[in-house]
Amino acid sequence: MVAFEGLSEKLQATFKKLRGRGKVKESDIKEVMREVRIALLESDVNYKVAKDFIAAVTERAVGVQVMESLTPAQQIIKIIDEELTALMGSQHSDIKLQNKPPTIIMMCGLQGSGKTTHSAKLAAYYRRLGRRPILVACDIYRPAAIDQLKIVGEKAGAPVFEMGAENPVVIAKKAVMHARDYGNDVVILDTAGRLHIDEELMDELQNIKAQVSPHEILLVVDAMTGQDAVNVSKSFDDTLGITGVIMTKLDGDTRGGAALSVKAVTGKPIKFVGMGEKLDALEPFHPDRMSSRILGMGDVLTLIDKAQQNIDQKHAENLAEKLEKNKFDLEDLVEQMRQVRKMGSLESLLSMIPGVGGKISSEETEAGEKSLKQMEVIINSMTPPERRKPDIITPGRKRRIATGSGTRVEDVNRLLKQYRDMQKMVKMMTTKGGGKKRRFSQMPGMPGMGGMGFPFR
For 277-297, how does the pLDDT look when each residue is reduced to its tens digit (9 = 90+)? 888 888 899 888 888 777 766
The residue type at 304: I
Rg of the chain taking only CA atoms, in angstroms: 26
**Position with higher pLDDT, 151 vs 297:** 151
Phi, psi of 171 (to 5 degrees): -60, -45
Nearest CA to 212 among 234, 179, 245, 166? 179
Output the pTM of the full model.
0.67
CATH class in words for 304-442: mainly alpha
> Looking at residue 205, what is its pLDDT?
93
For the segment 343-383, what is each residue's pLDDT rounded down to a tens digit? 666 666 666 665 555 555 667 767 777 888 888 899 999 99
> Looking at residue 321, what is its pLDDT?
73
In angstroms, the Cα distances linking 292 to 13, 85, 443 are 16, 9, 26
* Residue 456 pLDDT > 60: no
**Domain boundaries, given as residue ranges, for the chain:** 2-87, 103-298, 304-442
| Residue range 2-87 in CATH 1.10.150.20 | no
Provide mean pLDDT across the span 42-51.
Answer: 87
**Position with higher pLDDT, 183 vs 354:** 183
* Residue 228 pLDDT > 60: yes
* 8 A C-beta contact, residue 279 and residue 155: yes
> Looking at residue 444, what is its pLDDT?
36
For the segment 405-436, what is each residue's pLDDT rounded down to a tens digit? 999 999 999 999 888 887 777 677 666 554 44
b/e per residue 333-364 (b: at least 16 CB within 10 A): bbebbebbbebbebbbbbbbbeebbbebeeeb
For the segment 233-291, what is each residue's pLDDT rounded down to a tens digit? 888 999 899 999 998 887 655 566 777 888 888 888 999 988 878 888 888 998 888 88
> Looking at residue 367, what is its pLDDT?
76
Q: How many residues appear in the chain?
A: 457
* Residue 322 pLDDT > 60: yes
Nearest CA to 288 among 90, 428, 436, 142? 90
> Looking at residue 231, what is its pLDDT?
84
**Position with higher pLDDT, 315 vs 111:** 111
**Position with higher pLDDT, 403 vs 441:** 403
How far is residue 416's CA from residue 7's CA, in Å, rounded to a whole number?
Answer: 40
How far is residue 454's CA from residue 447's CA, in Å, rounded to a whole number?
Answer: 9
How far is residue 39's CA from residue 23's CA, in Å, rounded to a whole number?
Answer: 24
> Looking at residue 435, what is its pLDDT?
47
| β-bridge mates for residue 292, sequence order | none
Please report which confidence band the pLDDT of residue 22 belongs to, taking 50, 70 and 90 as the band edges: low
CATH class in words for 103-298: alpha beta
